[in-house]
């Protein structure tokens, strides 16, 4: 059992979302690994209103019980795999909102990105990379991008190409390595 704890954050709450199948695929592959313990965090289980904290998150003075619960959830992880749709050339509003609620709980941790969309969600990842940099989250190079055209049947049934398996292995290797290194920084 590894002492690294990594979260796969499902960043869509949309009815009929494709993200659930993508996140399940990622979790299945992650569970085959021994370098870290992976857990799925579904934002449906963490309903956060639009950011309602009166003080910026960087001050660490959370007032809302929902914020404190969210902070406690995120604080226990060493790194993250963000599973994001691409909506309007960016990530989902619900994922951005969940990220914006916190600051210190994200710092000096590692992240990887998995996206899906008409162009594989690449633009959503680019936005998330900038956001993560501001939050002092080190993000790995390898990413997974699933096309609604080639990795889904009828745009709804997830059927990823086998080539994604090798990319997933590289993504997990990089994430576990960086998460382990940053754990020493935090201690």
Using one digit for the tens of pLDDT, what is the confidence trace for 34-65?
999 999 999 999 999 999 999 999 999 999 99
Find the CATH number of the domain harbouring 61.
3.40.50.360
Residue 20 has pLDDT above 80, yes or no: yes
CA pair distance 154, 152, nearest whole angstrom: 6
Nearest partner of 128 among 92, 103, 164, judged by Cα: 92
Q: How confident is the model at residue 1 (pLDDT cuts 50, 70, 90)?
A: low
Give the pLDDT confidence score for residue 122 in this predicted structure: 95
What confidence tens digit (pLDDT) does each residue in 57-115 have? 999 999 999 999 999 999 999 999 999 999 999 999 999 999 999 999 999 999 999 99
> What percent of the chain has a predicted confidence (pLDDT) above 70?
99
Q: How confident is the model at residue 15 (pLDDT cuts 50, 70, 90)?
A: very high
CA pair distance 159, 163, nearest whole angstrom: 12
Q: Average of pLDDT values for 14-20?
A: 96
Q: Average of pLDDT values for 153-165?
A: 94
Total structural domains within the chain: 1
Q: Does residue 10 sit in helix, strand or coil? A: strand
Residue 141 has pLDDT above 60, yes or no: yes
93 by Cβ neighbours in 10 Å (0-12 / 13-18 / 19+) ranks as middle
CA pair distance 179, 4, nearest whole angstrom: 7
Per DSSP bridges, beta strands 37-42 and 79-85 are unpaired
Residue 39: which domain range?
Answer: 5-186
Give the pLDDT confidence score for residue 2 in this predicted structure: 76
Question: Is residue 114 within a helix (H) or strand (E), and if so which, with residue range?
Answer: strand 109-117
């Amino acid at each position: 059992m590894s002492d690294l704890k990594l979260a796969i954050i499902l960043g869509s709450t949309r009815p009929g979302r494709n993200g659930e199948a993508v996140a399940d695929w990622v979790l299945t592959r992650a569970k085959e690994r021994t370098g870290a313990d992976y857990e799925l965090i579904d934002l449906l289980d963490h309903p956060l209103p639009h950011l309602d904290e009166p003080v910026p998150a960087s001050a660490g003075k959370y007032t809302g019980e929902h914020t404190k619960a969210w902070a406690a959830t995120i604080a226990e992880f060493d790194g993250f795999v963000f599973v994001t749709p691409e909506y309007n050339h960016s990530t989902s509003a619900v994922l951005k909102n969940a990220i914006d609620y916190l600051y210190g709980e994200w710092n000096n941790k590692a992240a990887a990105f998995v996206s899906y969309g008409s162009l594989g969600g690449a633009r959503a990842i680019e936005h998330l990379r900038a956001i993560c940099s501001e939050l002092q989250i080190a993000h790995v190079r390898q990413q997974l991008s699933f096309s609604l055209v080639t990795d889904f049947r009828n745009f709804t049934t997830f059927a990823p190409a086998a080539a994604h398996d090798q990319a997933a292995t590289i993504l997990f290797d990089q994430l576990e390595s960086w998460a382990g290194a940053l754990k020493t920084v935090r201690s």
